[in-house]
Amino acid sequence: MIRVGFVLTLCVFGNIAYNLDRDLEAMDRQWSRGMPGVSNVGGGSSSDCKKDMWILWDNSWSVGISSFQDKVRPFLKALISSPQLNVGQDGTHIGIITFSTQVQTKVLMDITEGTTADHINQFLDSLNYNDISGDGTRTGMALKMASEKLPLPSPGNYRPDVSDVVMIFTDGQPIRRRGEDTFGEKYASSRNGERMLAKDRAKDLRDRDVTVVGLGVGSEITLSRFRQDIQDWSTQGKYFEADTSKLQGIIDELVSASCIDPGECTCDQIEAGAFVAQGERALINWIEPTLKCASGRQAQIESKIVQPPVSPPSEFGAGHHTVTYTYRYLRGSKVVSLECRVEINVKACECPGVTRVNAQLQSGETEATVSWTVPHPNCPASLTSVSPSGAQSGRGKYPIGEHTVYYNYEHNSAAGSISLRCPVIIKVKGVLCGGIAFDQNNEVCCCGTSFERKAHYDCCGPKYYDTRKQTCKDFYTLEQGSTYI
């Protein structure tokens, strides 16, 4: 059973009374038209919210009878009437503690009585300000009383399957009057004792898994005096502030913060994968997804279905695979479903194809200087050897012809070891004259020696080529226009 303790500390000083009056009247007009006070939390209906809530209500003299009647009470009634809060026999139950002086700090309505919004609001209408107000702000004492009402970890108290919430709504610092109980030597300080008591009792509540929601109201100057206090009391992420421009919407925020159920959960997408040799299968291990709930509590899981029906570790071939975990869990009073996915990617560990490099032998050279990008597999792998070894840097000299360099890799993982041979094919082109490259466009090869090409000459040099007999003649000069040409 989950239990919610709801603590509302309300103390409105005179310096914000006018603006509170104006905004709360606007809220009353909204509620009289039947407009909902909060957005739909987590996609559920208003019946999703089911809490045990204690409202701690600050009724210091600074409120004043006019503000009490026209501002504070309408605000509380609007809060309790919120459809999303879902006050009802099978929904949220409300208890109210008022505090000011020690004598006036007491339970106004036990949580066993606050089971319908109409009943609670009729009770609020019946209250007389002078009967519950006082010259003090015993915030620490009120939190002490709330803590005593929730003696066990949440859930486990009034309704053991319902979570507890405590809301603190205040506009001032804790104050203890002379002669009132300190509740221990630790809290004897007249200046800071009540603040320390409030801090410790709020921590007691949080340690028992009670959600503590805090709201600070007032101007920046007012808030600066006690902001740190109420932040310290509140569950992380559950502190709010309101000024006159925000009060109309603060009910939405308070109810939303209070009604996030332990079962209002999400899950992270899990990813796993491995590399395998072409055509092989990999043994994949993964962490099963778990539900993460907004309140930090553990979800109450009704069932779990896994599709396909596998469990870690399992074998998978190359490709993309999805394992879907469908959880049915309790959210408020309903059982809802959530799909959590495990994405598994298995890739074939392979070379990036055959690397091909073309080069041209330059005139006067017997070998071409060639460079290339060393191929790497698509998987993490260590280079074990290169054949020939001198090509490890991706650079070398090669004669005319086709040459192959092999880069040998080893990939090691939990799935096993894979050996890879990534080739680089180098093709050097060119024309030789006497074993040395020459430029056919600008040179002519004459009997094994290259010479500058000239018009109307087959060869330039001590010999020339007899086109008829296809031999080199031993004339020392060539005659332009010779009949042999």
pLDDT reading at 266 higher than 70: yes
- What integer is the mean pLDDT of 385-400? 92
Question: Going by C-beta distance under 8 Å and a sequence separation of 6 or more, which residues neighbour residue 421?
Answer: 351, 406, 407, 408, 409
Report the alpha-carbon distance of residue 454 to residue 467 in Å, rounded. 16
In this chain, the answer to whether the domains covering 14-259 and 265-348 adopt an identical fold is no
Task: Work out the average pLDDT over 184-188.
Answer: 91
Report percent pLDDT > 90 for the chain.
38
> What is the structure's pLDDT at 124?
92
* Four-residue CA torsion sign, 116, 118, 120, 123: negative
The β-bridge relationship of strands 51-58 and 163-170 is parallel
Q: State how far the alpha carbon of 308 is from the alpha carbons of 322, 324, 479, in Å.
A: 8, 7, 91
pLDDT at 35 over 80: no
- CA 431 – CA 302 distance, rounded (Å): 81
Nearest to 18 by CA among 332, 256, 244: 244
Query: 48 by DSSP, 3-state: which?
Result: helix
User: Which residues does residue 403 pair with via DSSP β-bridges, in sequence order?
Assistant: 426
| Cα-based distances in Å from 349 to 126, 275, 294, 382, 422 | 78, 5, 41, 13, 12
Q: Tell me the per-residue pLDDT of 116-162, one tens digit each, with 9 for 90 and over.
A: 999 999 999 999 999 998 988 899 999 999 999 988 887 788 888 78
The order of strands in the sheet holding 319-331 is 270-276, 334-348, 319-331, 301-307
Q: Are 73 and 124 in contact (CB under 8 A)?
A: yes
* CA pair distance 325, 268, nearest whole angstrom: 12
Which among 426, 407, 409 has a CA at the least distance from the CA of 418? 409
Task: Tell me how far apart the alpha carbons of residues 142 and 122 are, in angstroms, rounded to a whole number.
Answer: 23
Least confident segment among 12-21, 97-106, 215-224: 12-21
Helices assigned H by DSSP within 105-246: 117-126, 129-132, 139-149, 193-207, 220-224, 227-233
Domain 265-348 falls in which CATH fold? Immunoglobulin-like (2.60.40)
Compute the average pLDDT of residues 297-326: 90
Q: What is the pLDDT of residue 466?
A: 56
**By C-alpha distance, which of 323, 327, 335 is closest to 290?**
327
Return the SS3 of 152: coil
H helical segments located in 420-483: none
Domain boundaries, the chain: 14-259, 265-348, 355-430, 433-473
CB 263 within 8 A of CB 331: yes
Which is more confidently placed, 222 or 40? 222
* CA dist., res. 422 & res. 350, Å (int): 8
Mean per-residue pLDDT of the chain: 80
Q: How confident is the model at residue 449 (pLDDT cuts 50, 70, 90)?
A: confident
Confidence of residue 243 (pLDDT cuts 50, 70, 90): low
Q: Which of 91-95, 151-155, 347-351, 468-472 has the lowest mean pLDDT?
A: 468-472
What is the pLDDT at residue 32?
30
Residue 215 is predicted with a pLDDT of: 81
CA neighbours closer than 13 Å in the CB half-sphere of residue 473: 18
> How high is the pLDDT of residue 16?
37
pLDDT, tens only, 66-79: 878 877 888 888 88
Over residues 450-476, mean pLDDT: 59
How far apart, in whole angstroms, are the C-alpha atoms of residue 19 and residue 23?
6
The residues near 191 (Cβ < 8 Å, ≥ 6 apart) are none
Of 377, 391, 380, 372, the closest CA to residue 422 belongs to: 377
467: tokens are 């086109």
pLDDT at 210: 87
Angle value at C-alpha 204, between 200 and 209, nearest 5 degrees? 145
Query: Can you give the pTM of this predicted structure?
Result: 0.51
Is the domain defined by 14-259 classed in CATH 3.40.50.410? yes
Structure tokens at 107: 């339970």
Q: Are strands 51-58 and 93-99 parallel, antiparallel or unpaired?
A: parallel
Q: Are strands 436-437 and 401-413 parallel, antiparallel or unpaired?
A: unpaired
Of 29, 63, 226, the C-alpha closest to 132 is 63
Residue 262, preceding bond cis, omega within 30 degrees? no
Q: Any bridge partners for residue 134, and if so which?
A: 60
| pLDDT (tens digit per residue) in 368-392 | 999 999 999 999 999 999 999 889 8
The enclosing H or E element of 255 equals: helix 247-259
Q: Which has more pLDDT, 85 or 261?
A: 85
How many angstroms separate the Cα of 198 from the Cα of each of 139, 144, 176, 444?
A: 6, 7, 11, 103
CA–CA–CA angle 383, 388, 393 (5° rounding)? 55
The pLDDT of 191-218, averaged and rounded, is 87
Q: Is 27 helix (H, G, I), strand (E, B) or coil?
A: helix
